[in-house]
């Protein structure tokens, strides 16, 4: 579990992320509608994450935070001198008893990006008590959105037909003017032809096979069946 607190001119927000051994992420975020210091926000974030772990019956937990003060106070290496933090420290000590094994680690803020982003979001986003916000879902896109457009062109040919014809036969479409031809030549430089199969060269030099609508749908159906 990682946690973080954020404070700005508007409000205070807290964020925590539970990560399973399989790599699944469970984000948590909350807005603090009361006055608090940065250290209080950090404790609030830690407590929110610990309570979420307890609710999920997690028995072994590694906790990471980018607040050296909070982490080392919880570990007992630093004394809690601020009166406002004593009750927080005592509460964390009680929550720790719910785990069979729990460890606390300090790591730099740049390695705590997701929890930091959640805390910042909560501190800046204005929402009423009646507002219901569904959990965040994060996707990773490896290619631009237009690459998922697999429909045929109006002439019935696949989207890469003109590029394939130029690379394979040095031919242009009949209606192509000089500007169209220059565009086709420039685009063709990013493709590779291997036999009859055309590949798009990615920025990392990975070759992506170009397929038409029928073949693309078949691939998607095969993947869906495997899942």
90 and 198 in a single domain? The answer is: no
Residue 2: burial class (beta carbons within 10 Å; 0-12, 13-18, 19+): buried
43 and 101 in a single domain? The answer is: yes
pLDDT of residue 194: 82
* SS3 state of residue 199: strand
Of the listed ranges 89-98, 113-122, 177-186, the one predicted with least confidence? 113-122
Strands 191-194 and 25-32, by their bridges, are: unpaired
49 and 83 in a single domain? The answer is: yes
Residue 222 domain-assigned (yes or no): yes
State the average pLDDT for the chain: 79
Domain tally, the chain: 2
> What's the whole-number mean pLDDT along residues 89-111?
90
pLDDT in tens, 161-177: 888 888 888 888 888 89
pLDDT of residue 114: 67
The CATH number for 40's domain is 3.30.420.10
169 and 62 in a single domain? The answer is: no
Residue 133 domain-assigned (yes or no): no
179 and 120 in a single domain? The answer is: no
Residue 137 domain-assigned (yes or no): no
120 and 152 in a single domain? The answer is: no
Q: Which residues constitute the domain of residue 36?
A: 2-124
Q: Ranked by mean pLDDT, which of 51-60, 101-110, 126-135, 181-190 comes out on top? A: 51-60
119 and 215 in a single domain? The answer is: no
- Pinpoint the alpha helices (H) of the chain: 38-55, 68-74, 83-96, 113-124, 161-169, 178-188, 213-226
> How far, in Å, CA of 227 to CA of 221, rounded?
10
pLDDT in tens, 24-77: 888 888 888 888 888 998 999 999 999 999 999 999 999 999 889 999 999 999
114 and 185 in a single domain? The answer is: no
Residue 132 domain-assigned (yes or no): no
18 and 119 in a single domain? The answer is: yes
98 and 163 in a single domain? The answer is: no
Residue 111's pLDDT band (boundaries 50, 70, 90)? low
114 and 6 in a single domain? The answer is: yes
Residue 22 domain-assigned (yes or no): yes
Strands 12-19 and 25-32, by their bridges, are: antiparallel
Q: Write down how long the chain is.
A: 227
12 and 117 in a single domain? The answer is: yes
Residue pair 46/85 in contact by the 8 Å Cβ criterion: no
């Amino acid at each position: 579990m990682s946690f973080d607190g954020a404070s700005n001119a508007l409000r205070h927000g807290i964020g925590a992320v539970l990560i399973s051994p399989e790599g699944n992420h469970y984000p948590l975020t909350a807005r603090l509608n009361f006055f608090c210091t940065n250290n209080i926000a950090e404790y609030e974030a830690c407590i929110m994450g610990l309570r979420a772990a307890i609710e999920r019956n997690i028995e072994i937990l590694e906790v990471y935070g980018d607040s050296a003060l909070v982490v080392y106070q919880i570990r007992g290496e630093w004394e809690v001198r601020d009166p406002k933090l004593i009750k927080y420290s005592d509460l964390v000590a009680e929550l720790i008893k719910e785990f069979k094994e729990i460890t606390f680690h300090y790591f730099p803020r740049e390695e705590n990006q997701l929890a930091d982003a959640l805390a910042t979001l909560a501190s800046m986003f204005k929402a009423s008590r009646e507002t219901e916000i569904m959990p965040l879902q994060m996707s990773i896109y490896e290619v631009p959105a237009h690459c998922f457009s697999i429909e045929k062109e109006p002439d019935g040919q696949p989207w890469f037909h003109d590029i394939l014809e130029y690379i394979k036969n040095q031919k242009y479409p009949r209606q192509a003017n000089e500007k169209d031809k220059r565009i086709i030549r420039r685009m063709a430089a990013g493709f590779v032809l291997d036999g009859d199969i055309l590949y798009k060269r990615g920025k990392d030099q990975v070759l992506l096979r170009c397929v038409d609508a029928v073949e693309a749908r078949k691939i998607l159906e095969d993947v869906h069946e495997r899942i």
